């Protein structure tokens, strides 16, 4: 777990260097409004500020996605999180226009998706972005291999070739020997593995996950999350992941967009969101998160006092608090946070306990300045 | 009218004075009070007036209808409608049926039996599995029975008509189903059509078709297609609409075009429903093909019909048995195909694994041999003997007929003390049917209209009342009031018998597992049998007459009523039932307080279904002495008399509308009332 998070944050830092060039999806001011004369809502200044209830009362429309902007960077796992009805599933369907956006711009590797005609859109769906669904969406009359090969069949790939590639994918997701079964004979977790293999089989640039593991029970869900983490570390494929489960979001996401009532209320790394909630809603949301497993010592440290800079074990700034606790407890003294040979600060019992107790209120997210509430 | 109110007042007064309490109880229920007033008025009116619809209010439809019929007969050879449209249909269907019949007889009896057996075996899953072999054996036996009973030719001509009719119905049904399933507007247009077809007794549209196509196989074929295509269409549409939306979305997300989606996802996802639709279509087609013997379809149905007319019970029973055998055969085969579809791990079109097992190789060889055999037969003419060898049959069928004849005679009036079935039927007629009919015919027409209106109002919908009153008025205007009241009395008696028996058996079946196990196979067989066949044992038992028609109707409608009742009672929310049990409710209390109230929608549906089914048989009852409207329809069909037949048909449809709307609104009204 800690390893992947480290790798993820590292990857994030690498991509952030030249993010403009490497955005896979670039979404700007995207709207999706359901209801009569929906297309007028995004441009009508008098209603865009209204709450959902007021909007419905006044216009009869529901804005599932309102004025959403974000970039999905190449190679990252971008998680969209929100409770049911927050518009996250609508948002992900807008990305390949399974649901037609009402307004806004949407680019895929620099290509304007909104302006695509039928053929180019089909091309996008066939080769470049494929999706994994909450309810699997498997075809019950086909065998596992034929289900996995379905995307290739639609592309017009010949029978032998697509079955060979499908068999490869079946192995990849750990379903060896089940290729000739039907979906009805598989467990929920296995079925979703088939869904995953089907999406992978077309070798897309982006994988879109729409609450893929919500229908699975907790143990299987954990397995599947490991599977996604494994796939991501092996292939480095860009993923957009929709979930309503905060722990899942924190586990998988390089960056998380938290949605509420169709709007993105906060966008940031898991650590930023947990340590620095944007508003009361987010604070409420992350209240029960085990903070020591998300927050790094960079955030937990305080400036060195005299003499401290030379003693104590050295920790990387990205070390999680939970790991630092062990080091501090073992040595019985403070630890130093060292980056490139330079000591940034120190963490001790009190600092780490504050994190666990949720007492480090960091208003500005500043690394060096420690605002002790005690 | 003023005298009427007077009578009403006179009779009403003692009723009101009878109990102050009663009146207070009714004060809150104006509708109930109105009902009582109407009933009192009805009795009074029946005593004081002639109940028949007044002559002045009738409209003579016979003249114009006869003109139309004459025009049709005169112009059949010249009118463009016939030349460019109907004639083609007629020729195609005639040619198709002839072709298939010739093909079957060219195959010879051995060829047909082998081909049918092999086909059934293949549909049931091929291979050496027990089920496939059992069905193959069943098929071979059934075809042998046709031969042994001496009805080979008849069975073949029924089969030929069936093959063409089912093929046409399935194609048309799937096309209509695609329209209704893929387009909302198509659904809006087609749904009421399907609904009407489901309620309409098949006999109602035989007559116009006879006029258009003349007596013979084209009319029979077209009417069969009209009758049998709707379930296919309905279920196709249902399957298309009910498909897992996630699978369709997945298909779309992978970039499938609309045709690709239809072929790879929509249709395969709907195939369970489509197969069920095909099963229903086949069963309904058989039912109609048999019934269409009245308009010259020939085959087994004709044999039954002729034998009934000659009062040859034995022969009609034998032909009836053959029809039942065909029904069982077709039902088993399609059911086996359906089961195979549900539980097939890689057996269906999974020849893709490439591994050609011995079993599969054998199946292919046999199939290839059969195809060659069939092609040779159709090209070169008869292979072997065309018809079942006569010396294998003559000795069997005559004794069976005689045995049956003497047995039924013994049962009908030879039972000592008890009297026998004929005697009971006579009692039933004089004690129940006649008084009922006389009362309904004597009741004043305006009173009946009023009664219907109030009943519908009570049931919860004034619109249903309007429909009912209008339907009755149409009947009156057609000048069929008395006959319709006769038919209505039969329908009501049948309905009451059906509902009482059906509800009792249904409750028993729902509450006791072994009753259910006992009657389920019986219900299965009964529901697959063609309507026409029900007449045969009934006539054998009680002879020709109204009791026979009523008994046939009850037997025909009973399975559906039992099934729906039992189903409704058993699917009652188990939590509610458990709660009742945890409070210490007895079995009876559970039934009365929880199961029956919660199953009310199902019970009303059972009632409604019962009405529709009973009405479908009443017409056929005309063939066995049911008289009244049914007889008129049959007479009209046989004599091609549009005036008599069509107006009676319309009257039956009106009765159907009336009863259907009344029972339906009763169900809907009560459900709405629980808000």
- Whether the predicted pLDDT of B253 surpasses 60: yes
Q: Which residue has the higher pLDDT, B442 or B134?
A: B134
Task: Indicate the domain borders of chain B.
Answer: 1-49, 68-106+151-341, 411-673
Q: Spell out the long-range contacts of A43-47 with Cβ–Cβ below 8 A and sequence spacing 24 or more.
A: A43/A103
ipTM score here?
Answer: 0.76
Diameter of chain A by CA atoms? Answer: 73
Most distant CA atoms of chain B, gap in Å: 91
The larger pLDDT score, comparing residue B237 to residue B637, is at B237
In chain B, helix, strand, coil percent, each to 5?
85, 0, 15
- Minimum-distance CB partner of A180 among B251, B257, B346: B346
Residue B471 tokens read as: 């339907």
Fold of A2-20+72-101+115-286: Rossmann fold (3.40.50)
pLDDT at B348: 41
With a CB cutoff of 8 Å and minimum separation 6, the contacts of B470 are none
A209 near B CB under 8 A: no
Extract the runs of DSSP E, i.e. beta strands, from chain A. Answer: 23-34, 62-73, 77-81, 103-108, 111-112, 129-132, 206-210, 238-243, 255-260, 263-268, 314-315, 335-339, 342-347
d(CA B475, CA B441): 13
> Rounded distance, CA A82 to CA A89, Å?
10
Window 449-468 of B: residues touching A by CB (8 A cutoff) are: none
Joined tokens for residue B407: 């047995």
**pLDDT attached to residue B351:** 40
CATH fold, domain B411-673, is: MetI-like fold (1.10.3720)
Q: Do domains B68-106+151-341 and B411-673 have the same CATH topology?
A: yes
Cα B389–Cα B395–Cα B400 angle in degrees, nearest 5: 120
pLDDT in the model for residue B275: 86
Q: Which residue of B has its CA nearest to A125?
A: B255
More confident residue, B416 or A53: A53
Rank A136-140, A305-309, B656-660 by mean pLDDT and report only the highest.
Answer: A136-140
- Interchain contact, A140 vs B250, CB within 8 Å: no
Instruction: Return the number of other C-beta atoms located less than 10 Å from residue B642's C-beta.
Output: 25
- Measured CA to CA, the distance from residue A14 to residue A21 in angstroms comes to 13
Tokens of B163: 């093959």
Q: What's the confidence (pLDDT) of residue B592?
A: 76
Neighbours of B128 (CB within 10 A): 9
Query: Both tokens of residue A178?
Result: 């089940």
pLDDT value of position A294: 85
A351-365 per-position pLDDT tens digit: 888 888 877 544 444
| Residue A290 per-residue DSSP state | -
The answer to whether residue B84 scores a pLDDT higher than 90 is no
CA-closest candidate to residue B270, choices B241, B247, B248: B241
Pick the CATH number of A291-357 from 1.20.210.10, 3.90.1280.20, 3.40.50.300, 3.40.50.150: 3.90.1280.20
Distances (CA, A) of B222 to A278, B117, B178, B637: 72, 29, 21, 15
What is the pLDDT averaged over residues B499-521? 84
Residue B665's pLDDT band (cuts 50, 70, 90):
low
Q: Is A88 on the interface with B (CB under 8 A)?
A: no
Q: What is the mean pLDDT of residues A330-349?
A: 84
Domain ranges of chain A: 2-20+72-101+115-286, 291-357
CB contact under 8 A, A136 and B269: no
Angstroms from B253 CA to nearest CA on chain A = 6
- Residue A309: pLDDT above 90? no
Asked if the domains A2-20+72-101+115-286 and A291-357 are classified in one and the same CATH topology, the answer is: no
Residues A71, A72, A77, A78, CA torsion sign? positive
List the single best residue of A127, A140, A141 to mutate versus B (max B Cβ within 10 A). A141
- Taking CB atoms and an 8 Å limit, are B248 and A137 in contact across chains? yes
- Cα–Cα distance measured from residue B474 to residue B61, given in angstroms and rounded to the nearest whole number: 11
Neighbours of B84 (CB within 10 A): 9
Range scoring the smallest mean pLDDT among A11-20, B107-116, B184-193: A11-20
- Band (pLDDT 50/70/90 cuts) for residue A371 is very low
Assess whether pLDDT exceeds 60 at residue B237: yes
Looking at chain A, the number of H-run helices and the number of E-run strands are: 17, 13
Which of B305, B311, B277 shows the shortest CA–CA distance to B289? B305
User: What is the model's pLDDT at position A195?
Assistant: 92
Choose from B159-163, B535-539, B598-602 the range with maximum mean pLDDT: B159-163
Over residues B416-467, the pLDDT tens digits come to 666 667 777 777 777 777 777 777 777 777 777 777 777 777 776 777 778 7
Give me the pLDDT at residue A17, please: 43
Q: Which pLDDT value is given to residue A69?
A: 93
pLDDT of B408 above 80: no
Secondary structure (DSSP) of B293-357: GGGT--SHHHHHHHHHHTT-HHHHHHHHHHHHHHHHHHHHHHHHHHHHHHT-SS-SS-GGG----
- Indicate the pLDDT class of residue B413, thresholds 50, 70 and 90: low
pLDDT at B495 over 90: no
For residue A124, the chain B residues in CB contact (below 8 A) are 255
* Stronger pLDDT, A364 or B277, i.e. the higher one: B277
Residues of B in contact with A181 (CB under 8 A): 345-346
- Say which CATH superfamily domain B68-106+151-341 falls into: MetI-like (1.10.3720.10)
A163 part of contact set with chain B, CB < 8 Å: yes
pLDDT exceeds cutoff 50 at B641: yes
How far out from the chain centre does Cα B28 lie? Answer: 42
Supply the pLDDT for residue A165: 92
Could you identify the residue written with the tokens 């309503």?
A244
**Mean pLDDT value of segment B39-51:** 64
Tell me if B271 and A141 make a contact (CB, 8 A cut-off): yes
Q: For CA atoms B257, B258, B264, B266, give the dihedral sign.
A: positive
| Average pLDDT of chain A to the nearest whole number | 84
| Contact A90/B at CB under 8 A | no
C-alpha–C-alpha distance, residues A332 and A314, integer Å: 14
Mean pLDDT of B652-665: 78
pLDDT at A218 over 90: no
Q: Tell me which long-range contacts A52-60 makes (C-beta under 8 A, separation of at least 24).
A: A52/A261, A52/A262, A59/A35, A60/A35, A60/A36
Query: A291 or A195: which carries more pLDDT confidence?
Result: A195
Within a 10 A sphere around the Cβ of A51, how many other Cβ atoms? 10
Q: In the prediction, which pLDDT does A366 show?
A: 40
Contacts of B389 (CB under 8 A, 6+ apart): B109, B147
- Greater model confidence, B413 or B399: B399
Whole-angstrom Cα distance, residue B655 to residue B473? Answer: 11
Lowest mean pLDDT among A202-216, B103-117, B410-424: B410-424
Say yes or no to pLDDT of B318 above 50.
yes
Which stretch of A11-25, B168-182, B212-226, B368-382 has the lowest confidence by average pLDDT?
A11-25
β-pairing, A335-339 vs A314-315, is parallel
Q: What is the pLDDT of residue A105?
A: 92
């Amino acid at each position: 777990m800690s390893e992947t998070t480290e790798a993820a944050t590292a990857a994030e830092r690498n991509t952030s260097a030249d993010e403009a060039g490497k955005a896979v999806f670039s979404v700007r001011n995207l709207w999706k409004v359901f209801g009569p004369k929906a297309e007028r809502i995004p441009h009508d200044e008098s209603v865009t500020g209204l709450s959902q209830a007021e909007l419905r009362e006044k216009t009869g429309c529901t804005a599932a996605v309102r004025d959403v902007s974000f970039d999905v960077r190449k190679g990252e796992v971008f998680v969209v999180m929100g409770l049911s009805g927050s518009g996250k599933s609508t948002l992900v369907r807008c990305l390949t226009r399974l649901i037609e956006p009402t307004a806004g711009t949407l680019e895929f590797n620099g290509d304007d998706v909104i302006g695509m005609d039928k053929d180019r859109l089909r091309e996008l769906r066939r080769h470049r972005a494929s999706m994994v669904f909450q309810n699997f969406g498997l075809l019950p009359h086909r065998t596992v291999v034929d289900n996995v090969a379905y995307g290739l069949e639609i592309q017009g790939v010949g029978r032998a070739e697509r079955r060979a590639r499908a068999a490869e994918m079946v192995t990849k997701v750990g379903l060896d020997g089940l290729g000739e079964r039907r979906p009805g004979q598989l467990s929920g977790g296995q079925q979703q593995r088939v869904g995953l293999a089907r999406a992978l089989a077309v070798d897309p640039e982006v994988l879109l996950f729409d609450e893929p593991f919500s229908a699975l029970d907790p143990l299987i869900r954990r397995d599947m999350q490991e599977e996604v983490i494994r796939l991501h570390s092996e292939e480095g494929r860009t993923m957009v992941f929709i979930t309503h489960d905060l722990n899942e979001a924190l586990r998988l996401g390089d960056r998380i967009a938290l949605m509420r009532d169709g709007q993105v209320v906060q966008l940031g790394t898991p650590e930023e969101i947990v340590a620095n909630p944007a508003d009361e809603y987010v604070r409420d949301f992350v209240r029960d998160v085990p903070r020591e497993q998300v927050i790094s010592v960079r955030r937990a440290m305080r400036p060195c006092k005299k003499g401290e800079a030379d003693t104590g074990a050295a920790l990387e700034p990205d070390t999680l608090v939970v790991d630092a606790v062990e080091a501090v407890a073992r040595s019985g003294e403070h630890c130093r946070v060292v980056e490139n040979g330079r000591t940034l600060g120190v963490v001790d019992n009190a600092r780490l306990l504050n994190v666990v107790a949720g007492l480090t209120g960091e208003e500005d997210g500043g690394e060096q300045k420690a605002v002790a509430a005690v | 009218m003023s005298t009427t109110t007077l009578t009403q007042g006179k009779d009403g007064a003692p009723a009101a004075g009878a109990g102050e309490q009663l009146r207070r109880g009714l004060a809150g229920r104006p509708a109930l009070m109105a009902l009582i007033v109407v009933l009192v008025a009805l009795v009074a009116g029946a005593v004081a007036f002639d109940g028949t619809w007044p002559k002045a209010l009738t409209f003579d439809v016979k003249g114009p209808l006869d003109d139309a019929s004459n025009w049709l007969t005169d112009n059949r050879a010249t009118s463009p409608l016939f030349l460019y449209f109907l004639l083609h249909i007629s020729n195609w269907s005639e040619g198709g049926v002839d072709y298939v019949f010739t093909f079957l007889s060219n195959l010879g009896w051995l060829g047909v039996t082998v081909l049918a057996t092999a086909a059934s075996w293949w549909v049931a899953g091929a291979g050496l599995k027990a089920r496939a072999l059992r069905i193959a054996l069943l098929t071979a036996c059934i075809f042998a029975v046709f031969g042994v009973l001496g009805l080979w030719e008849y069975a073949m001509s029924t089969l030929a008509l069936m093959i063409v009719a089912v093929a046409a119905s399935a194609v048309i049904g799937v096309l209509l189903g695609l329209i209704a399933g893929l387009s909302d507007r198509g659904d809006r247009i087609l749904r009421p059509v399907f609904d009407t077809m489901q309620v309409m007794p098949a006999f109602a549209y035989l007559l116009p078709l006879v006029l258009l196509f003349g007596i013979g196989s084209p009319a029979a074929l077209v009417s069969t297609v009209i009758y049998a295509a709707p379930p296919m269409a309905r279920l196709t549409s249902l399957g298309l609409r009910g498909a897992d939306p996630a699978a369709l979305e997945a298909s779309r997300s992978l970039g499938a075009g609309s045709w690709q989606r239809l072929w790879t996802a929509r249709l395969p996802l709907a195939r369970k429903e489509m197969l069920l639709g095909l099963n229903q279509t086949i069963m309904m087609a058989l039912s109609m093909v048999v019934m269409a013997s009245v308009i010259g379809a020939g085959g087994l149905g004709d044999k039954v019909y002729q034998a009934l007319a000659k009062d040859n019970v034995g022969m009609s029973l034998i032909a009836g048995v053959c029809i039942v055998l065909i029904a069982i055969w077709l039902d088993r085969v399609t059911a086996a195909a359906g089961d195979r579809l549900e539980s097939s791990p890689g057996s269906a079109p999974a020849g893709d694994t490439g591994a050609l097992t011995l079993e599969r190789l054998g199946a292919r060889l046999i199939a290839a041999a059969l195809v060659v055999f069939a092609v040779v037969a159709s090209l070169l003419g008869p292979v072997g003997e065309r018809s079942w060898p006569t010396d294998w049959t003559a000795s069997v069928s005559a004794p069976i007929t005689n045995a049956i004849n003497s047995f039924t005679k013994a049962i009908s009036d030879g039972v000592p003390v008890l009297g026998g079935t004929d005697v009971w039927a006579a009692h039933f007629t004089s004690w129940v049917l006649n008084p009922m009919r006389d009362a309904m015919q004597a009741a004043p027409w305006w009173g009946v209209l009023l009664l219907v209106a109030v009943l519908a109002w009570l049931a919860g919908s004034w619109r249903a009342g309007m429909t009912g009153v209008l339907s009755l008025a149409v009947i009156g205007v057609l000048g069929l009031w008395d006959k319709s009241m006769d038919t209505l009395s039969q329908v009501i008696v049948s309905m009451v018998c059906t509902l009482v028996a059906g509800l009792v058996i249904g409750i028993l079946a729902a509450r006791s597992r072994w009753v259910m196990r006992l009657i389920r196979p019986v219900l299965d067989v009964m529901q697959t049998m063609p309507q026409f066949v029900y007449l045969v044992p009934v006539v054998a038992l009680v002879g020709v007459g109204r009791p026979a028609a009523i008994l046939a109707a009850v037997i025909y409608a009973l399975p559906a009523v039992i099934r729906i009742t039992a189903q409704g009672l058993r699917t009652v929310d188990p939590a509610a039932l458990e709660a009742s049990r945890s409070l210490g409710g007895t079995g009876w209390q559970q039934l009365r307080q929880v199961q029956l109230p919660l199953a009310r929608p199902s019970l009303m549906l059972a009632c409604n279904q019962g009405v529709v089914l009973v009405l479908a048989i009443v017409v056929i009852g005309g063939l066995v002495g049911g008289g009244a409207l049914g007889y008129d329809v049959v007479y009209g069909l046989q004599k091609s008399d549009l005036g008599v037949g069509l107006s009676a048909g319309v009257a039956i449809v009106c009765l159907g509308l009336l009863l259907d709307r009344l029972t339906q609104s009763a169900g809907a009204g009560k459900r709405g009332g629980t808000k």
